A and B are shown apart, each in its own frame.
Chain A
């Protein structure tokens, strides 16, 4: 877990595949690469079997670029579509049983703190809505109640995509799916409110059709989780297969959904704001100068 692990072992460089060499020589490790440089450097995400045009794929691609220190980041995931790509990146990925990702991440993040002390090692969970809000619900909530310091990202495609279209707690009321032919009878779960009341220091919603915003949100969430407390990002990452969205209309759908029920929201506790301002120079959170006193 350092820049050393992405170097060639002496004598082995000539046997490494081109993609690996490109990644070592022109990857983001040890540099501050950003979304605006996309297309000019080798990304840590490689080829993977997720569906063509999937918005979740795009979100994962953006997330991998947005990690503040990819060489010091471990991702944790679970069953579901996202792991098919998250596992194909040049950073460690931990895969547990379905739904236990926030339990695994709790142990991992505590262990890393014991081993490396104050040197930040970032743990980021990325899992589907089914894995997080249904099957892994108690692991998720309890990690927040315990104030475990890592980032949780829900890849919310509002369905169990990987198993053919069952409804999840995050599916919208009334939605008809292949394996929910009568339509969902209950409201979408309000995980954002639960995250806030369970004590998350940062809670945000994003849609991948705004890459720079995705980048900003992920950076803040990961930095805050280093010292202040749990952070939660809920990303709309449509399933074009189960919701029958033509692939060339996936971004149009994201734009419409963002304008409707997935507007950008960001909640930051005062402690987290102060931390970002003082430690990482976030101007937006610097204390405002006191208003000038005008004489009556």
Chain B
């Protein structure tokens, strides 16, 4: 098993500062869903991770903890994720993306 980044929507959607994706070395790995937080009653959308592209470097954790100071990202074993976004299930829109969350990424 290996670690991937996991973003806590309840924390991220309070600000949705969008910093982490600007620092993730991998393209199209941290994406934004403008609805994710609003669906839960927050003001903003939230970031999420396409786990099939994440290389587990934890740079986003450092950025969220130290630059954004939001502590919304944790590294987690991929088989421990209750559900996960993968590239095949991500739909791009005009200004945002949505992911149809699948079951455990590795079962």
Contacts and interface: CB of A to CB of B under 8 A. Distances in A.
Interface of A: 18-19, 22, 25-26, 35-43, 45-47, 50, 52-55, 57-58, 61-62, 64, 209, 211, 247-252
The secondary structure that dominates the A interface is helix
Interface of B: 18, 21-28, 30-32, 47, 53, 55-59, 61-63, 66-67, 87-88, 90, 92-93, 95-97
Nearest to B90: A22
Given A18-B87, A39-B18, A211 B23 contact: yes
Contact of B25 (A41, A42, A57, A252): A57
Given A61-B27, A209-B23, A39 B47 contact: yes
Contact of A54 (B18, B25, B92): B25
B35 to A, nearest CB: 12
A251 B27 contact: no
B59 to A, nearest CB: 5
Contacts of B57: 52-53, 247-248, 250
Given A46-B27, A211-B23, A40 B96 contact: yes
B17 to A, nearest CB: 11
B61 A38 contact: no
A60 B28 CA distance: 13
Given A52-B55, A247-B59, A22 B92 contact: yes
B59 A39 contact: no
A64 B25 CA distance: 12
A41 B63 CA distance: 21
A47 B29 CA distance: 10
Contacts, number: 80
The CB with the most chain B CB atoms within 10 A, among A19, A37, A61, A209, is that of A61
Given A19-B87, A43-B28, A251-B59, A38 B66 contact: no
A58 B23 contact: yes
A58 B60 CA distance: 12
B87 A53 contact: no
A47 B53 CA distance: 7
The CB with the most chain A CB atoms within 10 A, among B24, B26, B88, is that of B26
A211 B21 CA distance: 10
5 contacts: A18-B87, A40-B97, A58-B24, A58-B59, A248-B58
A251 B62 contact: yes
A40 B97 CA distance: 6
A55 B24 CA distance: 9
Contacts of A35: 22
A22 B27 CA distance: 13
Given A19-B87, A247-B57, A248-B58, A40 B23 contact: no
Contacts of B61: 248
A112 to B, nearest CB: 26
B55 A53 contact: yes
A53 B58 contact: yes
A55 B53 CA distance: 16
Contacts of A19: 87
Contacts of A64: 27
Nearest to B95: A40
Given A40-B31, A247-B57, A252-B66, 4 more contacts: A39-B47, A58-B23, A64-B27, A251-B67
B63 A251 contact: yes
Contacts of B28: 42-43
Contacts of B87: 18-19
Nearest to B34: A40
A11 B11 CA distance: 45
Contacts of A38: 18, 21-22
A255 to B, nearest CB: 9
